[in-house]
């Protein structure tokens, strides 16, 4: 049986496919993905991209398009935060309760859970899609698949640059 969340996820995935076909630049796609996920998925309260700064040594994640409140973390190194953990490991990180994760860098007092999914370009991490929720354990396996799907589309578009 389809749950309400499954239905929302299915709708969001279709909307992202439409967005992909109607945009030509990675910039427009990334902006559209943040808007769409923030508006469509009710527990996705902050949605944004951090991209690796070109040529930076040591590597640095820089805030790109986002929806939600301004964050104090506009530049994050790879050994900081959940964001750094996802980028350095090249793996999706889901944190069900941010207060229990010592890596967590606070962005808003309202944030309870977080997901960070790397964006790969030609097999290498180029950035990541970060989502915060005001709800504990907001990100199910299905949510994880949706966010990974969005990140993969952005990687695919970036490969065409
Ligand atoms: N919480 C993130 C920092 C970015 S803000 O959530 C927008 C982290 O721990 O890396």
Return the H-helix or E-strand segment holding 140: none
Average pLDDT over residues 11-37: 98
Q: How far is ligand 1, taken at its centre, from the CA of residue 70, in Å?
A: 11
User: How many CA atoms lie less than 13 Å away from 139 in the CB half-sphere?
Assistant: 27
Percent of all residues in the chain with a pLDDT value above 70, rounded to a whole number: 99
DSSP string, 111-125: --EEEEEEEEETTEE
Residues having CB closer than 6 A to ligand 1 are: 46, 71, 73, 76, 81-83, 104-105, 107, 114, 130, 132
Q: Are 34 and 159 in contact (CB under 8 A)?
A: no
| pLDDT confidence of residue 2 | 77
Query: Cβ contacts of residue 98 below 8 Å, gap of 6+?
Result: 82, 104, 106, 111, 112, 113, 114
Across the chain, mean pLDDT equals 97
Q: Of 75, 107, 133, which is best to mutate to test ligand 1, by the most ligand atoms within 8 angstroms of its C-beta? A: 107
| pLDDT confidence of residue 1 | 65
> pLDDT of 29-44, one tens digit each?
999 999 999 999 999 9
- CA pair distance 7, 67, nearest whole angstrom: 23
> pLDDT of 129-159, one tens digit each?
999 999 999 999 999 999 999 999 999 999 9
């Amino acid at each position: 049986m389809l749950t309400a969340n499954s239905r929302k996820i299915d709708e969001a995935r279709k909307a992202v496919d439409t967005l992909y076909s109607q945009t030509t630049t990675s910039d427009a796609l990334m902006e559209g993905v943040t808007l769409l996920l923030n508006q469509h998925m009710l527990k996705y309260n902050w949605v944004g991209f951090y991209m690796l700064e070109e040529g930076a040594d040591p590597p640095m994640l820089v805030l790109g398009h986002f929806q939600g409140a301004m964050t104090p973390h506009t530049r994050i190194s790879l050994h900081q935060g959940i964001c750094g953990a996802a980028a350095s490991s090249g793996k999706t990180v889901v944190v069900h309760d941010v207060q229990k994760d010592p890596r967590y860098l606070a962005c808003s007092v309202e944030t309870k859970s977080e997901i960070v999914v790397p964006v790969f370009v030609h097999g290498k991490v180029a950035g990541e899609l970060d989502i915060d929720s005001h709800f504990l354990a907001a990100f199910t396996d299905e949510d994880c698949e949706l966010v990974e799907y969005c990140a993969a589309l952005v990687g695919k578009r970036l490969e065409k640059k």
